[in-house]
Amino acid sequence: MIRINLNGEKRGAPVKTKRKKRKQKSEVEQNIILILLVLIGVGVFFLIGWKINSDYDEQAAIKAQKQAEYKKLEHWEQKKLELDIQKELLNEKIQKISQLKSRREGPVKLLEDVFNNLPKSIWLQSIVQGYDRRLTDKVDPKGKALTPGRNIGKPNDLMIKGMSKTQDAPTTFANSIQGLDSKYNNVILESIVEEKETSVPVFQFTLFLKLVPGYEKILEAEQKGEQK
């Protein structure tokens, strides 16, 4: 015989409904939490992206500023390089002009020294630069013949020829030049020969000397001293 408890079914129905509502509420809460987590993740993602873009823009701005500054400096560096080149060329020109000036004034200073120390009884016939003293011997120490015009001496070799009314005047002149040892050395009075076909005593002499190394620098020092 089957019994049906109607009262029991009626009492159990509310319990199932409460459980169902709780389950639905729990699912809703989980969905809300999930949605919040997704929103937070999306927000964090966009925040990180914004930060990266901001840093990139900042670095790009700094790079652009540095490039602009570099272009300005590059322009001035080029100008500085051009000025340095012009300065170097100008200094080179000044140096060459100074050298030419010294070479031009060298003979002038030589003549000044010669005439300042020249006795009144002497008059000069010639001053030759680059004349090898060995030419007066006609042969060199090895016996080889020397030909004037081919055996040219060094630029600092000088030969002075002149005439004197007295025999002692050429020696006095040579000693005076020898006293200027800061400019001249190897002063040699080669010969003093009396001219016989004259009514009064006349002596012809030949004097050799050398300009000391650095003669041009000595002239420059003298010029600076005169300017002071």
- Residue 20 domain flag: no
Q: What gap in Å lies between CA 137 and CA 208, rounded to an integer?
A: 13
- Both 194 and 125 in one domain: the answer is yes
**Interatomic CA distance for residues 49 and 47, integer angstroms:** 5
Least confident of 139-148, 156-165, 171-180: 139-148
Whether residue 97 is found in the same domain as residue 182: no
Strand runs (DSSP E) across 39-168, as ranges? 122-129, 157-164
Judged against a pLDDT cut of 70, whether residue 184 lies above it is answered with yes
| Res. 3 pLDDT band, cuts 50 70 90 | low
The pLDDT of residue 5 is: 53
Q: What is the distance between the terminal CA atoms of the chain, rounded to a whole angstrom?
A: 151
Supply the pLDDT for residue 122.
Answer: 92
In this structure, the answer to whether residues 100 and 124 fall within a common structural domain is: no
Which residue range forms the structural domain that includes residue 168? 117-227
C-beta separation of 154 from 131 below 8 A: no
Name the DSSP letter for residue 193.
Answer: E
Assess if residue 12 is contained within a domain.
Answer: no
Using one digit for the tens of pLDDT, what is the confidence trace for 33-75? 888 888 888 888 888 888 888 888 888 888 888 877 777 777 7
Q: Is residue 171 part of a domain?
A: yes
* Of 69-78, 161-170, 209-218, highest mean pLDDT: 161-170
Q: What does pTM read for this prediction? A: 0.46
Q: Which of 37, 191, 28, 207 is nearest to 113 (CA)?
A: 207
* Judgement on whether residues 124 and 220 belong to the same structural domain of the protein: yes
Nearest to 173 by CA among 200, 202, 209, 210: 209
Mean pLDDT of 197-212: 87
- Reduced to 3 states (helix: H, G, I; strand: E, B; else coil), residue 179 is coil
Percentage of the chain modeled with pLDDT above 90: 15
Asked if residue 93 has pLDDT above 60, the reply is: yes
With 80 as the cut, is the pLDDT of residue 24 above it? no
Q: Could you read off the pLDDT of 98-153 as tens digits, one per residue?
A: 655 555 555 777 888 888 899 999 999 988 887 766 655 454 455 554 554 444 55
Number of structural domains the chain divides into: 2
Pair 151, 60 in one domain:
no
